[in-house]
């Protein structure tokens, strides 16, 4: 049986999972690829660190050239993270004709143009299923399952840490800090959770999906990104009273040739499938112009689920490599001239809104709020006033709006938040009824 020689960068959480899966499923993988997939070399930050699994034949080094300069290595798997060195590893591997697999969503999103253009230029076999939604094979669904459809929408809950925190807040009434602390204790959140709770990780993954779904390169800096740190238990409670659950959603859609993409906390109707995705789980919704909506659900992170996606790419790419059939191109497009696509500015986005005002409890306030909103073309679908908890303290007035232009809402809130009866800045959360 032909041996496929693999060099792996990183033997941490995901790298360790891949080593174990290739060992545990070795006979099955031989039957499925007609080859023997063997990791021969690994590069890590600290080569002398003990590993919680048997290294077997793997030689370990701290020098990237140990793999990159070895002409015998057929496949490079990058599971190291970070952008600078990881990018160099990918670009050099493309040039030397090595098949490449990565789980590095930060790199793919922030350097989309450089990485994908180089992959096309060198006709590289590049797999990155593990970069988005862990074990859920969403990239394969877009590239192959929906290969005949025009994708109209991609949305999802694609960060398990943020979803775990929001679920704890909503089921146990905890505030953000307490829920974050528990997520860290249980190992669902990193010591530095910034990328997860500020929406950056969700945005990285959404951008990768958008490039495939809408065919082209998007600029990560154009993608509107807002995290969950300002969500308060009172918002979760009021939203629940109106039949909504608050989720950190990444959503992109193409309407009339224009692509809209955004990441922010969103009120989702409780009867929608995405509303019932709890804890560290992920779910992705795709809509094709003929398929209609498809929702996939599963584990979005962790050693084994992420390894599953890496090894699936390995099987798929080794089959293509060995049979010399025409590969499925990285972004599903045959052309080497990748289009650069602009995102619709956030100001032009239409949405429904949840607006929670903290106001002094006095005559005329409600009339003034509705007057200013009306003067910015914002009409109200429903409202509720929460009685004050302390004598003389501010009260909450919550409006659910009909669809309005983001620019109008931002302008209206700028005006309203300066009025003397406003006690605290207004909390605005977008509502997605679809």
In this structure, the strands spanning 422-431 and 350-359 are antiparallel
Rule CB under 6 A: choose which of 12, 145, 269, 327 binds ligand NAP.
12
Residue closer to ligand NAP, measured from CB, 201 or 260: 201
Which of 11, 103, 16 has the alpha carbon at shortest distance from 62?
Answer: 11
Q: Within 13 Å, how many C-alpha atoms sit on residue 258's CB side?
A: 9
**H or E stretch covering 25:** none
Answer yes or no whether residue 130 interacts with ligand NAP by CB under 6 A: yes
Residue closer to ligand NAP, measured from CB, 215 or 298: 298
- Which residue has tokens 């192959």? 144
Rule CB under 6 A: choose which of 2, 30, 49, 186 binds ligand NAP.
49
Q: Would the CA dihedral through 146, 152, 157, 159 be positive or negative?
A: positive
**Other beta carbons less than 10 A from residue 309's beta carbon:** 27
DSSP for residue 220: G
74-82, 209-217, 318-326, 373-381 -> range binding ligand NAP (CB under 6 A): 74-82
Which of 322, 294, 371 has the alpha carbon at shortest distance from 37?
Answer: 322
Contacts to ligand NAP from residues 142-161, by CB under 6 A:
none
Torsion of CA 149, 153, 159, 164, to 10 degrees: -120
In sequence order, the β-bridge partners of residue 64 are none
Q: How far is the CB of 335 from ligand NAP (least distance, A)?
A: 28
Q: What are the phi and psi torsion angles at 397 (to 5°)?
A: -115, 120
DSSP for residue 144: I
Whether 205 is catalytic is yes
Q: Please list the helix, strand and coil fractions of the chain in percent, rounded to the nearest 5, in that order.
A: 40, 25, 35
67-75, 231-239, 298-306, 315-323 -> range binding ligand NAP (CB under 6 A): 298-306
Answer yes or no whether residue 85 interacts with ligand NAP by CB under 6 A: yes
Alpha carbon separation from 402 to 271, 331, 381 (Å, rounded): 20, 37, 5
**Which residues, 6+ apart, have CB-to-CB distance to 152 below 8 Å?**
253, 254, 255, 287, 288, 289
10-18, 170-178, 220-228, 370-378 -> range binding ligand NAP (CB under 6 A): 10-18
Residue closer to ligand NAP, measured from CB, 53 or 421: 53
Residue closer to ligand NAP, measured from CB, 58 or 429: 58
Answer yes or no whether residue 115 interacts with ligand NAP by CB under 6 A: no
Total residues contacting ligand NAP (rule CB under 6 A)? 24
Residue closer to ligand NAP, measured from CB, 287 or 308: 308
In this structure, the strands spanning 224-225 and 244-255 are unpaired
Q: How far is the CB of 325 from ligand NAP (least distance, A)?
A: 28
Rule CB under 6 A: choose which of 11, 109, 206, 274 binds ligand NAP.
11
Rule CB under 6 A: choose which of 33, 104, 159, 282 binds ligand NAP.
104
Site string for ligand NAP, 221-240 (x = CB under 6 A): --------------------
Q: Which residue is catalytic, options 205, 251, 253, 285?
A: 205
Answer yes or no whether residue 80 interacts with ligand NAP by CB under 6 A: yes
Rule CB under 6 A: choose which of 306, 351, 358, 426 binds ligand NAP.
306
Indicate which residues carry an active-site annotation. 205
Where along the sequence are the contacts to ligand NAP (CB under 6 A)?
9-15, 43-46, 49, 79-81, 85, 103-105, 130, 134, 301-302, 306
């Amino acid at each position: 049986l032909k041996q496929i020689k693999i060099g792996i960068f990183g033997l941490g959480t995901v790298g360790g999972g891949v080593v174990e899966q290739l060992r545990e499923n070795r006979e099955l993988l031989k039957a499925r690829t007609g080859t023997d997939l063997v990791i021969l070399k690994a590069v890590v930050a600290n080569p002398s660190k003990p590993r919680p699994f048997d290294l077997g034949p793997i030689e370990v080094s701290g020098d990237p050239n140990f793999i990159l300069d070895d002409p015998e290595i057929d496949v490079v798997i990058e599971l190291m993270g970070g952008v600078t060195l990881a990018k160099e590893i990918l670009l050099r591997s493309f040039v030397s004709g090595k098949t490449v697999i990565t789980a590095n969503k930060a790199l793919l999103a922030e350097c989309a143009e450089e990485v994908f253009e180089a992959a096309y230029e060198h006709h590289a076999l590049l797999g990155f299923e593990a970069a988005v939604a862990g074990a859920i094979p969403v990239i394969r669904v877009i590239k192959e399952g929906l290969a005949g459809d025009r994708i109209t929408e991609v949305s999802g809950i694609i960060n398990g840490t943020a979803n775990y925190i929001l679920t704890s807040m909503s089921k146990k009434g905890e505030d953000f800090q307490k829920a974050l602390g528990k997520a860290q204790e249980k190992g669902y959140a990193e010591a530095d959770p910034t990328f997860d709770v500020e929406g950056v990780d969700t945005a990285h993954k959404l951008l990768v999906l958008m490039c495939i779904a809408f065919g082209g390169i998007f600029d990560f800096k154009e993608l509107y990104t807002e995290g969950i740190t300002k969500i308060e238990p009172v918002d979760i409670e009021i939203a629940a009273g109106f039949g909504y659950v608050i989720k950190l959603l990444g959503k992109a859609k193409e309407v009339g040739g224009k692509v809209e993409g955004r990441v922010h906390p969103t009120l989702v109707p409780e009867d929608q499938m995405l509303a019932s995705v709890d804890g560290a789980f992920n779910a992705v919704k795709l809509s094709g112009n003929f398929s209609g909506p498809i929702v996939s659900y599963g584990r979005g992170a962790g050693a084994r689920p992420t390894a599953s996606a890496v090894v699936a790419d390995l099987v798929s790419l080794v089959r293509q490599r060995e049979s010399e059939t025409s590969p499925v191109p990285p972004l599903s497009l045959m052309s080497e001239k990748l289009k650069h696509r602009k995102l619709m500015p956030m100001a032009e986005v239409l949405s429904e809104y949840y607006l929670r005002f903290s106001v002094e409890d006095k005559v005329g306030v409600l009339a003034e709020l509705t007057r200013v909103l009306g003067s910015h073309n914002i009409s109200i679908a429903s409202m509720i006033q929460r009685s004050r908890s302390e004598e003389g303290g501010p009260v909450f007035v919550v409006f659910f709006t009909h669809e309005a232009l983001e620019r109008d809402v931002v302008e209206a809130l700028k005006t309203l938040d300066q009025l003397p009866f406003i006690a605290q800045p207004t909390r605005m959360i977008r509502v997605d009824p679809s």
